[in-house]
Amino acid sequence: MSHDFFISYTRRDLAWAEWIAWVLKNKGCYSVELDVWDWHAGDNFIAKMHHAIENASYTLIVLSSAYFSSVYTETEWTSVFAKAITGSGQNPVMVRIEDIQPPGLLASRLYIDLVGLDDEKASEQLLGGLKSHQPHPVSPPFPGISPRFPGTLPSIWNVPFLRNNTFTGREEILTTLDAALESGHTAAVTQPRAITGLGGIGKTQVALEYVYRHLSHYDVIWWVRGENTQTLGNDYIAFAHAQDLPEKDAREEATIVAAVNKWLGKHRNWLFVYDNAENP
């Protein structure tokens, strides 16, 4: 099946890729192929990538500093440009999401610039830049709720660290972590996957990178200091106040903790990160 656009991006920019894909499908009625939406476990990644580039009318490149440091994305964009130069394919569409100058062959290419724009203006800029690219007339809107604009924090949030913009590698761990948390299987809840190891190997940085990559997937993200019962209790009490639970001012800490656990059991799309926890 051919699509109007195949989106080429690096995993660090997943939230942007999903937001762009959603805008194209819901507001522009374009057909879009995005790996996390359309590819499945067991698929041949290289074959799917080749098929997507060959069959899409256009490849849309999400421009960022991380994009140009990835071996996989370099293979994608050089393949697309080779097709364009030889006349066997269309020029790619480039969308800039960071204040960077594209290197090499890309430096002379025009791009759609979303840097510094809010949700509404970014949507207008994106669709306005694609006016010359006619969508297939029968593409249905993508169902579901609009993803939160990339970089927008959840309303309930207490992560004490900024994103580490120099973070690289650990893709296998991040992919495994993502699969475990997104699977929806009971086992992922009753037997949680944890990042374990000796201090100083970067566990906190991996967890932090996961948080920032998946901001738009969660309505609540809460960072819990797990080094002892006092910090655990304090952060649960703080969550009860942030969520304005009726039990937030109870005298007994156990009552507040029970109320938080009850709330978690009744809601979805939340993420708790237990940092420095010695054991489950």
Over residues 16-35, the mean pLDDT reads: 88
Distance (Å, whole) CA 113 – CA 98: 9
- pLDDT at position 242, please? 94
Mean pLDDT taken over the chain = 80
pLDDT value at residue 188: 35
For residue 209, give the 3-state DSSP assignment. Answer: helix
Region 112-139 average pLDDT: 81
Residue 224: per-residue pLDDT: 94
pLDDT of residue 163: 87
Q: How confident is the model at residue 230 (pLDDT cuts 50, 70, 90)?
A: very high
pLDDT of residue 110: 84
How crowded is residue 190: how many other Cβ atoms within 10 Å of its Cβ?
A: 7
Return the pLDDT at 269. 84
**Helix/strand/coil percent split, the chain, to 5:** 45, 10, 45
Residue 243 carries which DSSP code?
T
Asked whether residue 140 carries a pLDDT value surpassing 70, the answer given is: no
Query: In this structure, how many other beta carbons lie within 10 angstroms of the beta carbon of residue 144?
Result: 8
* Residue 34 scores a pLDDT above 70: yes
Residue 145: predicted pLDDT:
60
Ranking 13-27, 66-80, 113-127, 220-234 by mean pLDDT, the lowest is 66-80
Average pLDDT of the segment spanning 142-152 = 70
Contact indicator for 109, 125 with CB cutoff of 8 Å = no
Question: Quick one: DSSP state of residue 155?
Answer: S
Q: Which of 90-94, 154-158, 202-206 has the highest mean predicted lDDT (pLDDT)? A: 154-158
Phi and psi at residue 251, to the nearest 5°: -70, -40
**Residue 152: burial class (beta carbons within 10 Å; 0-12, 13-18, 19+):** middle
Work out the pLDDT band at 221, boundaries 50, 70, 90: very high
Which residue, 20, 193, 42, is CA-closest to 114? 20
pLDDT in tens, 156-203: 999 999 988 788 777 778 877 777 777 654 333 333 455 555 555 578
In the predicted structure, residue 36 carries a pLDDT above the cut 60: yes
